[in-house]
Amino acid sequence: MRTISDTIERLARLRAGRFSAANQHHTDVLVRLEPSGDNPGNLTGWFTKPDSLKTAPALVVVLHGCTQTAAGYDYGSGWSSLASDYGFAVLFPEQSRENNANLCFNWFNKEDITRDRGEVQSVRAMIATMIANHGVDPKRVYVTGLSAGGAMANALLATYPEVFAGGAIIAGLPYGVAGTVPEAFDRMRGHGLPIAAALVDMLREASPHQGVWPTVSVWHGTADNTVVEGNARAIVEQWRGVHAVPQKATLTEIVDSQRHEVWRDTSGRDVIELYSIHGMAHGTPVDTQAGYGHGAPFMLDVGISSTVHIARNWGLTPSFERRANAPKREQAPSAGRWQQSRVGGVQNVIEDALRSAGLMK
């Protein structure tokens, strides 16, 4: 019997577009991270250490989405380009088909999202290597990811909160809400999400942490039918509990034409933010006119750069101006999709797989 993973992989080969060789194999700026310490999750690590690297630099851990590679996601998001301009390091853990046929991080597998086990332990070991071998400031480590990578970023924040100063979850899910593939698909569609109190308990029980919790930035498209927007609100609820902030946002404003909500703690520190990208489907919001990133499957040119705003929020860029000679946007910002007539979208791939599996009508 064909499994859900087999179906997704088959459909992906038939329908999903590919980056060009220059895009997909963006390895000229990435260096293989030599194994150091345990790697129970069997992940590969890549990193970029630009010539402009500052003394005791910050480190950003970037997790790709399903069917993507580290190099492909870097090309689309522009993280290594931003790092080169502002002098911080970037680590790109990469999934293998031996672990997941669709290159998804296994955010729904308990063994991989439990402290000191599986994939989260592998990423933790990579971070330790970057700190030991490349002089990274251990107090300035951050993590971000898209979709399955976003869910795994949340898992890392939950299981190792003492390691991270902050995290950014793009089109992701709350920590600990699924333990099987069918449950994962249900949660992606917004079905069976736990109540706020249960979400907070899952987060608190993931580690023995008693200190300051990392800040969290949440990004989600309002037209995302792959991982529905309700997951973004659930992530906010999960982290609102440990940060002890009110349900109502402290600040609601419009940034680059998008709704931006901020929750501040009693000291006035911004601890949670939520960007709701109007009309955007499933993917990472990029702004090619800013000079960082490229439009592609999963990488949606909607006129706001999540990479730039996240980096600024973390204090990695003291100020920001659009890069000179940045390319003009080829697609209307309101579309929020890669050109579906040219490239099969991952959303269609997953939805077809769900129908084939009898999980979606």
- Residues annotated as catalytic are 147
The C-alpha atoms of residue 58 and residue 54 are separated, in whole angstroms, by 8
HEC readout, the chain: CCCHHHHHHHHHHHHECCCCHHHHCCCCCCEECCCCCCCCCCCEEEEECCCCCCCCCCEEEEECCCCCCHHHHHHHHCHHHHHHHHCCEEEEEECCCCCCCCCCCCCCCHHHCCCCCHHHHHHHHHHHHHHHHHCCCCCCEEEEEECHHHHHHHHHHHHCCCCCCEEEEECCCCCCCCCCHHHHHHHHCCCCCCCHHHHHHHHHCCCCCCCCCCEEEEEEECCCCCCCCHHHHHHHHHHHHHHCCCCCCCEEEEECCEEEEEEECCCCCEEEEEEEECCCCCCEEEEHHHCECCCECCEEECCCCHHHHHHHHCCCCCCCCCCCCCCCCCCCCCCCCCCCCCCECHHHHHHHHHHHCCCCC
* Residue 110 CB neighbour total at 10 angstroms: 13
Chain centroid, CA 152 distance in Å: 8
Q: Which tokens is 123 given?
A: 């990423």
The C-alpha atoms of residue 300 and residue 282 are separated, in whole angstroms, by 8
Q: Which tokens is 302 given?
A: 């909607």
The partner residues of 45 in beta bridges, in order of sequence, read 93
The C-alpha atoms of residue 215 and residue 179 are separated, in whole angstroms, by 26
